[in-house]
Structure 1
């Protein structure tokens, strides 16, 4: 199995996708559905994530439980200026005086440009994927089991990373408040040939505390929509 997709939502997936493609130097792909966007972020031999953007009619609501932290480091201000030129905007979410910079993509999805941190070495353009969690230890066990990612040094209560120890960190962070609505960004896991199939991965996730989504929009797909222990959406894709 592998962590395959970071799935985002936007009112205009193509315009938002052009921003992220330029921002992260993605290799544009062929989305599964017309009107969606898909681009690949490669961070090592056989190590990659696809960023997929699907259409929604509404702007981003307040609150964001999963977002992208981009690498800034010593060039943080230059990175910020480049992203602003590509169509990002500055965003005040009450962060106050922090060393990172909060921006929004053209559709209003928040993301951060991070200061220099040793733990972000060799991540590539995406430094981290912070995910709000009511129980980082328990959610960490779930994501480690489903993705094959391994514990790694970090600043969050639980940090996972691709076993090559390259690419972004998956950070399980203490949630500021309980989940209230569908997340605008979620993760997809894909079964791989020779490993557990979709049914087995769903069973494993349920054993580790996940639950099946009962929302009407979650039914009738080739993938299975789950909620982790904290309620965050997570999809198990069909077998390869």
Structure 2
């Protein structure tokens, strides 16, 4: 039994506008599974779920983002210095704004989407040459080693690196983006972004949820009501959802 990360969930006041931004930013397409939900996924015959891409679901909520920096953000890949410059300019034309999160003098550019969700446009890196437009899903944490233990067992992704400062996982198939945990500080508020995990066909969702509890995950009541997914948090309180098979 195992779970796989299949999408990043983004909370938004205007799911359509934020969804359009991310579709344009990534060169992906738009769809909707229902009111208040905008789905963003690759074009060209992509069939969800596929490890070549972690998709984006933008979900409407009534409250705006606070001034607090998100604990989860996306890093976007570029192929050259010229591509990085062009992408930053294009994203700003789409409504992104430069933000200072204390990054200092770094080779990547920190921006925020139209509702203030921070993300980075990376300089070209060899490791990201085959990730697709999303290079990394980055999660701030207190203890990367503890996060590596939990997420390595919770998912079927492969642990590539781990030390006191960061941990890196990627699909065992060697495709798609990386998942990185960076040492920062304690989590204090619910996040606007979280990962959604999906069981494989034939696996029992309830059994997977029970297994996650034994690994240290806890159930979360976010006011979700009677839904097909289960809201949980990892041992440091990072929210995630285990989706039901459709």
Q: TM-score if structure 2 supplies the norm length?
A: 0.87
Q: Which moves more between the two structures, 87-96 or 40-49?
A: 40-49
The residue aligned with 1:132 is 140
Q: Which structure 2 residues correspond to residues 1-240 of structure 1 after superposition, within 5 A?
A: 1-31=3-33, 33-41=34-42, 46-47=50-51, 48-61=53-66, 62-74=68-80, 75-152=83-160, 157-174=166-183, 176-195=184-203, 197-213=204-220, 215-240=221-246
Shift of 1:37: 0.6
* 1:73 and 1:114 in contact (8 A); partners too: no
SS in 2 for 1:234: strand
Q: String of CA shifts for 1:3-52, please: whole Å, max 9, x gaps.
A: 12210011111011111111111122332x31221011479894332200
Q: String of CA shifts for 1:38-83, please: whole Å, max 9, x gaps.
A: 0114798943322001112333221211110001342211110111
Whole-angstrom CA distance in 2 between matches of 1:188 and 1:152: 21
Q: Against the structure 1 CA distance between its residues 154 and 142, is the aligned structure 2 distance closer, same or farther, given a 3 Å change threshold?
A: closer
Structure 1 portions without partners, runs of 5+: none
Q: Against the structure 1 CA distance between its residues 142 and 29, is the aligned structure 2 distance closer, same or farther, given a 3 Å change threshold?
A: farther
Whole-angstrom CA distance in 2 between matches of 1:147 and 1:216: 23
* Cα RMSD (Å): 2.2
SS in 1 for 2:54: strand
Structure 2 portions without partners, runs of 5+: none
Q: TM-score if structure 1 supplies the norm length?
A: 0.90
